[in-house]
Structure 1
């Protein structure tokens, strides 16, 4: 099933990677080589058993999922006319434009066809939303909206809205994007060796993962448990301690993904150990317990890779996470 995803403008590179990871978690894949008919669109292929709404519920950095209506404009107009049967209502817009575009010829043709089929045009809570991509008068693609991404739901998970707060916390939209980069599926075992305020574990938990985590600061573990409970999320095990020392004590269970946002610098409860040295000491041991095919996703300020062979960096996407703060979202996979 070929669909198009309209990406948001927060970070198009991260939005594309997130959409690809989310599609893969549902058994599909992105088709980056398919030319986009308009800026900000990504083609994906989903199995016929996958629900587009399920993909929309996973995503944070996209706007909506769209299905092409016909292979040619004439076919699309016929499909739009058929959708008008039964007196349904529809809103017609051009992607990337705020107004309904009453002077747009393609929108006018579509509206005329929809009315001809018995439908009515309504911008307020319509039964259907139809979008037009491409240049007016040129090559155009008509798209039916199948599901929209409710980005407002992430507002309630901002650090300022949670019981346990710190001056800075990872934006939940970026935390969800990182969880999608890890291709997390329900019942996956996910480990975060640097829990912090628990933003990454929260998003993994909302995707159905079983959560495990470590932090050297007992206040952070207690606070994360408080925030997870507030969100209705259960953690399998959160431990207080040095993740580098605990790695050999916690048994040899495999994990499906490692997802972490390590502390940076010497002022982040790392003692005299710098952030890069800390990651190099801790991450290889935990990464060795990630199953074949699993991913390690790390949010870092830059610098050398904390993992070496057999791990290879698959992606590295810089994103401005605060006004003057940039972080790289890195994805590691084992080499074949």
Structure 2
């Protein structure tokens, strides 16, 4: 296939591109190169004849039309989004413009292109979203594809709105859409404002490791390369109009996750051990969801996919990657907002 990937210079998008190119797909990477994007994430495939790059903002409809007309994709994998909850608390307008208006533009550009080519049956618009649209769970239960939406942050609300747009374009216009909602991703090339890279980088620097609230928030952790594999499997095998939840089957409390990372660093960089002495509890962020958990039954039975990496294995690989790739993450620390406490506005 020729796949148009939006947000392909980001964390998850770049993993999708690396995987897709390795499988022989042609890929067009569409990215505006905002603060969290980094073309170094796709450096390993940048010279491949199967890879092209277009610097385009999904808020620019005319530019999107030009990309479709130039490259004639067989499928769209729409990952471009503002995704950091803390930033959405401080500046929600960027999330509304990119995640909602940008998705609307992508749907309309894709629909125009698809209709203009005679509405081919094999075209797909795959929208990649988050389990945060479902809200927060108590100590038991899991999210299914039928769980009602209950977003609690500007970020999750904007993603919920984009999900609804995708479904509406499928129902109203017949656009062949697919939706996936994933749990928390981690792994190589994770932008250094998210929890796991923050813990690793601050521990290596001997700085305090901030833990929101009591550290009891639970997340289901999904290794990013497993996620890329799942997304491509859904693109190829998913039923049109169907949604699939993608989880790592690795529920862990934040505090336990941090202790695991510290223990790994104690082994690999014993000079700073014990790194868990750097843990500092800080005031929680507003509207912090307590627990996420995904029921993966649908993707397991209909697509035949399940994760291959346990959280213990994935964290060990991730820590080693950051230790071996300081030249990748060190320059990113100077980008706007990185290293600062965000999302504390009342």
Q: Please say whether Structure 1 and Structure 2 have the same fold, judged by a TM-score greater than 0.5.
A: no
Of Structure 1 and Structure 2, which has the larger fraction of its residues in helix? 2
Q: TM-score, normalised by structure 1?
A: 0.30
Compare relative contact order (CA 8 Å, sep 6+) and give the higher one, 1 or 2: 2
